[in-house]
Structure 1
Amino acid sequence: MVSLSQIELLLPELRAFAQAIGDTRDDAEDLVQDAIERALRAADPPGKLSELRPWLFRVIRNLHYDELRKRRVRREYLADAIRQSDIAAPQAETERDVLLRRAFDRLPAERREILFLVDVLGLKYSETAEVLGLAPGTVMSRLSRARRALLALVDGDEAPQDETPATGKSAEHARSE
């Protein structure tokens, strides 16, 4: 088990490392806090300080790269949406915004909620998972389905059929059985 005294000893180094790789001081502080949280929650963290130190550095590094990947995915997602709206005439941009808002409003509450938390508020998957009481993997899959449904509605298609998680069959198909 990780002790608070071990974390206190490593804290200056962890902060310095996080600041070296992070974009801002706030990002660095978030990385350190997330790493410490993981260390305290880990089922079997390294017990010796000499093993804990590199382990925590690796946790900070992995958290940083995870965040960079999420930002890249968000940028690509937004760039794609902008590209699609750039195809239309400039005055149609407002129409596209209205269409997007109407499509968002037509989504089921569960999908609106997850899209709002991640894409509008910018919460991390782990934070969203905590808010919704879900596993991070479940957040990612539900977010993907919500994005697809929103884009389908914006493009004038009906929202894709949901699949039930256990069977992979559409919800409608599962009800008819």
Structure 2
Amino acid sequence: MQLQRRLAHWLVMQGEQSTMTTVTPIQADAAPQMTAAAAHEGPSFHDQLVALLPRLRVQAVSMTRNRADADDLVQAAVSNALAAQHSFTPGTNFGAWMFRILRNRFLSDIRRKRDTCEMDSAPAEALARPAAQEDSLALRELRRRLADLPEDHRTALLLVTVQGMSYEEAAGVMKCAVGTAKCRVFRARRQLEAWLMGEKQAPRRAADKTAEKKTGSIKAQSVSGGTARRNDSLRGADRANEARALHPEM
């Protein structure tokens, strides 16, 4: 909340500075019409940005694994968004546009620091709720398992399930095909389910199992055929030795 209030105040000040002009009588007369037009157009850029701050911070914490770093990341992303405000097309998905800026800034910071960072699990704000002790333990286990997922799978899962994005929007943020985004979310869910059920790996699809069975059958047939040929050769050698023993003149 402290970060949200600080950024909201900063955005208001930015908006006031950007619109601070001398009001002429003509402008004063046109003010009601401009207000009505603005209301018809929907929330302003700054209003949308302020409303999105809590979700941005959730995603930032999941990326940086540190609340202070997450606050810095959100503030940097907001600065980038304000600088690139002209590139946003009104009427399009503001959330997806902003999350893309947040992720790009995060990756840019990683490259700049030449450090290795992993996306972490969704923070407590995204998953926690009043619960019994058993539920609390289950949530901690879920967060721990989320951290074990591959980065691309975890990112896709968080964007779709926590941030509420569509597969198309998540694919745009991750810069991948929609089918790839769907596959990552599907595999992440299967792996989490397997881990929480006590299995080491997610169950494979029937097609994978069938292919493996066919491969195993071919290998078994190959081994069996090789063994049979070796046995035939040994039996042939034994018969030849017996014949030489009975008929030395051979």
* TM-score, reference length from structure 1: 0.42
Q: Give the TM-score normalised by structure 2.
A: 0.31
The structure with the larger Rg is 2
